[in-house]
Chains A and B, each alone.
Chain A
Amino acid sequence: MSRETPLTAVARPALRAGVLLVYIVGVEWARALVGTAPYAAIPALVLGGLALGVTAWGWSQSSLGLSSSRLGLRLLGGVAIAAVLLLPAAVRAGAAPMLPVSVAAAAVVVSVGEEIAFRGALFAALEQVGGAPLAAIGTTVAWTAAHALSHPPEFLGAVAAAGLLLGLWRAVCRDLVAPIVGHVIADLAL
């Protein structure tokens, strides 16, 4: 019968969080690089989204923040997050890019995959290491790093702020449904 020492109690979750972080950022970077090849943009989005979704394996629904309880409020929270994410573009420009229809389905896959990976699995892993504050900050840093290849540098401040908002929602409300809904709506609209 094995007994878990204090060291392994910390090291194992930390190792798991580290592996998850490297995997998730690696998938995002690979997706960004492969997507620049001819005819690869949509396959890269779909495969990247699916590869990110794999990170949910081994986690319970509750530890990922997924639940159907209070579903109305969770969905409403997602709508509110989407409104916040889209508001600057709506007010600042009065017009903004709309996602081509051909990319919309792929955008849904990758949005859901990103939320499961960052605010779901990685958040849960980091929370086991250092609690919700570490998880919110850690997922924000990882999220920003993951977008470093796909976004111009001047956008990374907004990317980080969005990651922080989504991560705080996950921490405060113990909910992943709203970040998924908000992320999907925002990506479809932009």
Chain B
Amino acid sequence: MKKAALLAAAAILYAGMAWMVAPGFYDGFTPPQPYNFVCPPPQAGANLPPTSGHLVIKVIGGVSDANSAFTDDGQVVIGFLPGSFKVNPGQTTITVDITPVSPCPKPAGLHFSTNAYHVTADATLVKPATLVMVYSNLTTDPSFVYRAQSGDGPWENIGAASQARLWTIDTKTSTLGYFAAGFPSNAVSPNGAGSGQQVLPFIVAALIAAVLLAGIPLTIIRRRQAAGGGDADEKEDEEP
């Protein structure tokens, strides 16, 4: 009885500690930090606003240097090769800015898993840049990155490379503009992550039901066996 009380107390302590962090779990394969949403989904819990990014690229010998722009929270990274920009005469630096778009675009036929970001530069991009977008483990995994020249669209699918890191999607882009990662509204997420999001309550209900349905008869059987044939439980407790 004392042992059961100890375990129950530990379970309650865990529930309390897990309750304090969204979505309320202890382990698993989480992104390194919670995603900062412009428009947080209900399950996000406490949410910080996403941050913007600013980069100044040097122009050396008339050629723009290699560099990467990123938002301060690391949710978007865009990498530029040497000579990625068309440098205007007399230009010594190129400025790149990344800004989260608010309000969230909601284009017809598409569902965005990430925030939309507006990436601008004061020079024209002439070489493809590598765009990496982090996405949340609380939303459906995106299939593609979409690009638009206006926050209102139209949004163009610019593909996605194979996943190099968990919780990121990356692609190459030949122009700057508005970017968001998502999937067609009528599509099923390729890895099934999103389709399972509402399953968790049913999984837990099934686990509890299994414990009750199998546990009660098992306990009764063992008590009867113990009453009839000595305290086998005690012996096994000492040496399982």
Contact = CB atoms under 8 A, between A and B. Distances in A.
Interface of A: 35-36, 38-39, 41, 45, 62, 65, 67, 69-70, 72-74, 76, 79-80, 82-103, 107, 147, 150-152, 154-155, 157-162, 164-165, 168-169, 172-175, 183, 185-187, 189-190
Interface in B196-220: 196-201, 203-205, 207-208, 210-211, 214-215, 218
Nearest to A97: B137
Size range of the chain B interface in the assembly:
35 or more
A57 B239 CA distance: 20
Given A76-B214, A165-B11, A174-B237, A98 B197 contact: yes
17 contacts: A65-B240, A76-B214, A89-B23, A90-B203, A92-B24, A93-B138, A94-B42, A95-B197, A95-B200, A96-B197, A98-B200, A100-B192, A150-B30, A157-B17, A161-B17, A161-B26, A186-B28
Contacts of A100: 141, 166, 191-193
B161 to A, nearest CB: 10
B25 A84 contact: no
Interface stretch (B2-10, B116-124, B173-181): B2-10
A76 B218 contact: yes
Contacts of B204: 83, 86-87, 90
A158 B29 contact: no
B13 interface: yes
